[in-house]
Amino acid sequence: MVSWRTGTKGKLKACFAAVRIRTADGPPQRIKDKGQQHLPGDEAWLIGELRASGEKKYYLANLPAATDLRTLAATIKARWICEQAHQQLKEELGLDHFEGRSWQGLHRHALMTMLAFAFLQFRRLKRARRGKKNQRTAASTKLAGRPLRHRGAHRPTATAAMPTLPKTDLREHAA
């Protein structure tokens, strides 16, 4: 059982197993009458995951051979965060609505949507910190009769939904 991080409902964990393999994507060779055959290529990790639900998943990773199982699991599970960000970029910020004809235009469009995403993420985290600070101050006032004096930085444990902007506003600013 491997735990890769702590989520909102506690430690995230599953059973993992990993083995080093050689993928069959080396240079093609003609072997007698068999036609084109691929020889073994680069080494990679073949990782199996058995979830609590009984579902099995398999992954290939090209991380170094000295990588431990916990790091492999954490790297695989970090993909979910990237997929969530990509989905939000498409659904809420219009990353998939580009209709231009040049690479330069595409890159500018992608840059603008990513800047908008970073701004919204900053605002969301700032609001979550402010809400958390207000909750802590109210609790300490009740218990100690005075406001909390420590102003150190902290990370929110629960994340709020990302605020959305109307697409018309984004298009007006991106043009």
Other beta carbons within 10 Å of 47: 20
Q: What DSSP string runs through 134-159?
A: HHHHHHHHHHHSS----------SSP
Token pair recorded at residue 41: 């290529």
**pTM, full prediction:** 0.52
Locate all alpha helices (DSSP H) within 39-68, ordered by sequence: none
Question: What is the C-alpha to C-alpha distance for residues 128 and 144, in angstroms, rounded to an integer?
Answer: 24
pLDDT at 154: 46
3-class DSSP assignment, residue 63? coil
pLDDT at 157: 46
**Distance (Å, rounded) from C-alpha 77 to C-alpha 61?**
12
What element of type H or E holds 174? helix 167-174
**Mean pLDDT of each 10-residue bin along the chain, 175 residues long:** 79 89 78 70 89 90 91 88 88 88 93 93 89 65 50 46 49 46
Angstrom distance (rounded) from CA 167 to CA 5: 35
Task: Check residue 143 and give its pLDDT.
Answer: 52
pLDDT in the model for residue 171: 44
Q: Of 44, 43, 38, whose CA–CA distance to 25 is shortest?
A: 38
Q: How does DSSP classify residue 53? A: T
Alpha carbon distance 47, 69 (integer Å): 9
State how far Cα 74 lies from the chain centre.
11
Please give the helix or strand (H or E) that residue 121 lies within, else none.
helix 103-144
Distance in angstroms (rounded) separating the CA atoms of residues 49 and 40: 24
